[in-house]
């Protein structure tokens, strides 16, 4: 079984990557920083020497780099079993200081990255009539936060895309799951005043992904929130 994870070197992406390795998946991993990808690859190989781990540096906010990343794995593997569109960025803005350039930048990384990476894999998922696409959305895919306007818009677009994809692919026996984490203890919160110890932990999100993958049914969406959410 082969899985691709974007934004694999830190936070939620890394926890999902390590959980997929535990499950025996060969891994195709993307992020921008090549040395962190190399380090992660070594970490996985030390624990799971039999797994194939392929890393490729890509900036998923860029259309051509995203397409190139997809093409690399399509040429090398031909097909994959699992695609985890995890990469994303949190940034705060409000209706007062909101700018179109910020909106575009967050749409590129939080929405277009998933759209552009998924598209090239669809023909093979449909032909094989199997596979699973997991999109890491957010609780803000369904709620609005007035100090994270562009982020909320971009994650709501990703969530709508996920629902459309699910309806399109279910007739081909391909599963599509939206994971909607609340505040999760990752580097995304560095520099912001936040009680990270009260947050959801990356491993909680990874456990949700594995549960969805191993379910006989279609886990359509999974919300994981802090018990007492302040952020």
**Site residue total, ligand NAP (CB under 6 A):** 29
- Does the footprint of ligand NAP cover residue 56 (CB under 6 A)? no
Q: Which residues of 143-182 are buried (b: 16+ CB within 10 A; e: fewer)?
A: eeeeebbbbbbbbbbbbebbeebbeebeeeebbbbbbbbb
Dihedral angle over CA of 231, 198, 154, 30, nearest 10: 150
- Selected binder of ligand NAP within 5, 109, 148, 174 (CB under 6 A): 109
- Selected binder of ligand NAP within 35, 75, 96, 187 (CB under 6 A): 187
- Does the footprint of ligand NAP cover residue 9 (CB under 6 A)? yes
Nearer to ligand NAP, 128 or 220 (CB): 220
- Does the footprint of ligand NAP cover residue 81 (CB under 6 A)? no
Binding mask 83-102 for ligand NAP (x = CB under 6 A): ---xxxxx------------
- CA angle (60 as vertex; 172, 143 as ends), nearest 5: 70
The DSSP secondary structure of 78-120, one letter per residue, reads S--SEEEE-------B-TTT--HHHHHHHHIIIIIHHHHHHGG
Nearer to ligand NAP, 48 or 89 (CB): 89
Interacting residues with ligand NAP between 133 and 172 (CB under 6 A)? 136, 138
- Does the footprint of ligand NAP cover residue 59 (CB under 6 A)? yes
- Does the footprint of ligand NAP cover residue 61 (CB under 6 A)? yes
CB of 27 to ligand NAP, least distance (A): 13
- Does the footprint of ligand NAP cover residue 33 (CB under 6 A)? yes
- Does the footprint of ligand NAP cover residue 60 (CB under 6 A)? yes
Nearer to ligand NAP, 54 or 128 (CB): 54
CB of 19 to ligand NAP, least distance (A): 13
**What count of Cα atoms within 13 Å lies in the side-chain half-sphere of residue 117?**
35
Tokens of 79: 């097909």
Element (H, E) at 209: helix 202-214
CB of 125 to ligand NAP, least distance (A): 21
- Does the footprint of ligand NAP cover residue 28 (CB under 6 A)? no
- Does the footprint of ligand NAP cover residue 41 (CB under 6 A)? no
Q: Which residues contact 91 (CB under 8 A, 6 or more apart)?
A: 102, 106, 148, 150, 151
The DSSP secondary structure of 121-180, one letter per residue, reads GHHHHHHHT--EEEEE--GGGTS--TTBHHHHHHHHHHHHHHHHHHHHHGGGT-EEEEEE
Residues at the interface with ligand NAP (CB under 6 A): 7-13, 31-33, 36, 58-61, 86-90, 109, 136, 138, 181, 183-184, 186-188
């Amino acid at each position: 079984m082969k899985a691709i994870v974007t934004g694999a070197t830190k936070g939620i992406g890394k926890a999902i990557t390590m959980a997929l390795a535990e499950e025996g998946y060969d891994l195709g991993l993307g992020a921008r920083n090549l040395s962190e990808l190399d380090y992660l690859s070594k970490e996985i190989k030390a624990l799971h020497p039999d797994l194939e781990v392929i890393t490729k540096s890509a900036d998923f906010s860029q259309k051509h780099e995203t397409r190139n990343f997809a093409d690399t794995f399509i040429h090398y593997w031909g097909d994959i079993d699992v695609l985890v569109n995890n990469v994303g960025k949190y940034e705060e803005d409000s209706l007062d200081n909101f700018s179109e350039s910020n909106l575009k930048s967050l749409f590129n990384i939080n929405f277009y990255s998933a759209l552009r990476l998924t598209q090239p894999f669809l023909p093979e998922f449909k032909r094989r009539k199997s596979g699973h696409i997991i999109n890491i959305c957010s609780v803000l895919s369904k709620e609005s936060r007035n100090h994270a306007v562009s982020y909320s818009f971009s994650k709501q677009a990703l969530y709508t895309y996920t629902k459309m994809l699910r309806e399109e692919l279910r007739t081909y026996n391909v599963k599509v799951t939206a994971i909607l984490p609340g505040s999760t203890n990752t580097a995304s919160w560095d520099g912001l005043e936040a009680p990270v110890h009260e947050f959801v932990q990356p491993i909680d999100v990874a456990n949700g992904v594995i549960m969805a993958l191993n379910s006989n049914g279609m886990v359509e969406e999974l919300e994981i929130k802090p018990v007492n959410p302040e952020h």
